[in-house]
Amino acid sequence: MADAVECSLSGYPEREMVESSTQVQITSKDALNRQFKWYKASLEGVKEPTRTLLERYSKIPDDQMVKHVMGVAPYPCIGSFRFLEITIYNSAAYPEILARLKSGDKYLDLACALGQDIRHLIFKGAIPSNLYGSDLRPEFFNLGYDLFFDRSTLKATFIASDIFDDTSALLRQLAGKLDIINAASFFHLFDWDSQVSVAKQVVKLLRPVSGSLLVGRHSGNVRPGKRDGSELRGPIYRHDTVSFRRLWEQVGRETGTEWEADITEEKWEDLQTHADSDEGAFKMQYVIRRV
């Protein structure tokens, strides 16, 4: 039987009547994560721009911030505190994205987890009703409400869906209606064929016009290829910049579309301590634009 971890909001009694705590079921696989070197048992501090977001958007006092974050999401399946990173902020297309969202474009955070990027974009002036988040695990949405204190005020829409399912609520509601999709730390979870399938679903979700945009980041490797024996999942494919561009060329051929790929390598602090990484690992940032 899986253990349950209660993510309470102790220390914030004035908000307890508005923001309910979240019950998260931890699987036996999640519980094993504590043994890996990338697992962090504690949080030393919250970095920018998330610190400002929590302080000014969520009104969390600086001296209570770490305690609050640890109280909301202490469990091992997000034990690297990556949910505190605003991935969209580091995209080369960020200024364009923010301008377009302020002008009414529609945006999806694919595999959004707690939805921190969505809150950041709203804080920076994006129109909340045009922002969507999707994830396979809807309990992450509740954790996001608990983390940001906005359950009763956030106007963005969260959709629990499996991206591979053509009949899912995500495809039914948003196919052909989105202008921008952010897919951070997502493609690298799958093998080549599954990544192609995800990309084809992205093509379906985006509006079929020039300028439709997919952005994101994920783990890359200077030695591309299939990886087996992962700590957390089955076979995966690690890309270099050439192979990821080749994947989008294949997607273009098979969907009758054309895509311009801007892909860069960056150093990713502590990446080599994470699952499926070695000395050849790097952070891949990408902007995939429909031509």
| CATH number, position 240 | 3.40.50.150
At residue 85, the pLDDT reads 81
User: Could you read off the pLDDT of 167-181 as tens digits, one per residue?
Assistant: 999 999 999 999 999
Whether the per-residue pLDDT at 274 is higher than 60: the answer is no
Give CA angle at 165 (111, 30), nearest 5°: 45
The residue ranking higher by pLDDT, 108 or 275, is 108
In a domain, 18, yes or no: no
pLDDT tier at 116 (50, 70, 90 boundaries)?
Answer: very high
In a domain, 260, yes or no: yes
- Token pair listed for 32: 């094993």
pLDDT tier at 14 (50, 70, 90 boundaries)?
Answer: very low
Whether the per-residue pLDDT at 25 is higher than 80: the answer is no
Distance CA 7, CA 145 (A): 12
Domain around 92: 86-290
The residue ranking higher by pLDDT, 66 or 72, is 66
The residue ranking higher by pLDDT, 281 or 37, is 281
Please state the rounded mean pLDDT for residues 72-84: 57
The residue ranking higher by pLDDT, 62 or 121, is 121
In a domain, 213, yes or no: yes
pLDDT tier at 190 (50, 70, 90 boundaries)?
Answer: very high
At residue 207, the pLDDT reads 98
At residue 170, the pLDDT reads 98
Whether the per-residue pLDDT at 271 is higher than 80: the answer is no
Amino acid identity for residue 74 in this structure:
P
Q: Which residues pair with 217 in a beta bridge?
A: 285
In a domain, 271, yes or no: yes
φ/ψ of 101, rounded to 5, equals -70, -35
The percentage of residues in the chain with a pLDDT greater than 90, rounded to a whole number, is 57
Distance CA 170, CA 46 (A): 32
User: Could you read off the pLDDT of 229-269 as tens digits, one per residue?
Assistant: 555 567 899 999 999 999 999 999 999 999 999 999 988 66
In a domain, 7, yes or no: no
In a domain, 264, yes or no: yes
In a domain, 196, yes or no: yes
At residue 119, the pLDDT reads 96
> Cβ–Cβ contacts within 10 Å for residue 211, how many?
14
At residue 278, the pLDDT reads 73
User: Could you read off the pLDDT of 140-158 as tens digits, one per residue?
Assistant: 899 999 989 999 999 999 9
Structural domain total, the chain = 1
In a domain, 177, yes or no: yes
Please state the rounded mean pLDDT for residues 75-95: 76
Please state the rounded mean pLDDT for residues 10-28: 36
User: Could you read off the pLDDT of 225-234 as tens digits, one per residue?
Assistant: 998 755 556 7
CB 92 within 8 A of CB 285: yes
